């Protein structure tokens, strides 16, 4: 009997902070795979869409003929984790860029201002899940417009606005966990959304 295949987590690698997500996945003992063409989506246990420039990312995704395969993969149930620009692309919203519209939330781009208005904040995420506060890095961050009557679960807020939500197997963060050494959000995605069993980790 052949051994079970090792799970692979894809990271959209056409623009943005994808190397840091690949590093985070590797630190958790999971194989990561850069995704740059439709064939790279085959056999994945989950996909991370990184932060970056959302308009550029969607233009490149269409140029590489990835945009519609990404949507179809999400509709077929592939777990996805979008951070900042990645969250914008996963959700809904008016105006550019084009959205995958997979998550049941609307996101407003650049809601906190321009690049010079970037900031950090101590975030009180769901304590029963994440325990200690999380250091959030916000760079031209979007704002999640959440309908309390929807099935979307709010896992963290900042000044009354959701900054971390889960919509089915989709996890959306308006901040950049990959810019810290804290792996709790990546671990949550791999375990809770992708269904992977990770070994204990204390880093």
- Picking from 53, 64, 50, 10, the residue whose alpha carbon sits closest to that of residue 34 is 10
**Which residue in the list 21, 106, 178, 194 is annotated as catalytic?**
178
Q: Treating both helix axes as pointing N-terminal to C-terminal, what angle do 67-75 and 54-63 enclose, rounded to 10 degrees?
A: 100
Q: For residue 92, what is the DSSP state?
A: B
Cβ neighbours of residue 200 under 8 Å, at least 6 residues apart? none
Is 84 a catalytic site residue? yes
Is 176 a catalytic site residue? yes
**Which residue in the list 21, 158, 176, 186 is annotated as catalytic?**
176
**Which residue in the list 21, 84, 108, 193 is annotated as catalytic?**
84
**81 pairs with which residues across the strands?**
48, 171
Where helices occur in 76-192 by DSSP H, the ranges are 85-90, 127-130, 184-188
Q: For residue 15, what is the DSSP state?
A: S
- Catalytic residue set: 84, 176, 178
């Amino acid at each position: 009997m052949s051994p079970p295949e090792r799970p692979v987590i894809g990271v959209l690698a056409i623009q943005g902070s994808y190397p840091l997500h690949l590093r985070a996945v590797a630190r958790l003992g999971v194989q990561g795979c850069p995704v740059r063409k439709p064939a790279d989506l085959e056999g994945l246990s989950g996909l991370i869409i990184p932060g970056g420039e959302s308009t550029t990312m969607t233009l490149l995704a269409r140029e590489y003929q990835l945009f519609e395969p990404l949507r179809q993969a999400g509709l077929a149930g592939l777990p996805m984790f979008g951070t900042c620009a990645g969250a914008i692309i996963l959700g809904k919203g008016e105006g550019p860029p084009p959205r995958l519209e997979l998550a049941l939330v609307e996101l407003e781009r650049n809601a906190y201002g321009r690049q010079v208005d970037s900031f950090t904040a101590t975030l009180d995420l769901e304590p029963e899940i994440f325990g200690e506060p999380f250091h959030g890095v916000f760079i031209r961050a979007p704002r999640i417009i959440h309908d309390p009557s929807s099935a979307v679960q709010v896992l963290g807020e900042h000044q009354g606005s959701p900054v971390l939500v889960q919509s089915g197997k989709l996890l959306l963060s308006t901040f950049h966990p990959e810019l810290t050494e804290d792996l709790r959000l990546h671990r949550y995605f791999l375990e809770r959304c992708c269904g992977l069993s990770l070994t204990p980790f204390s880093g």
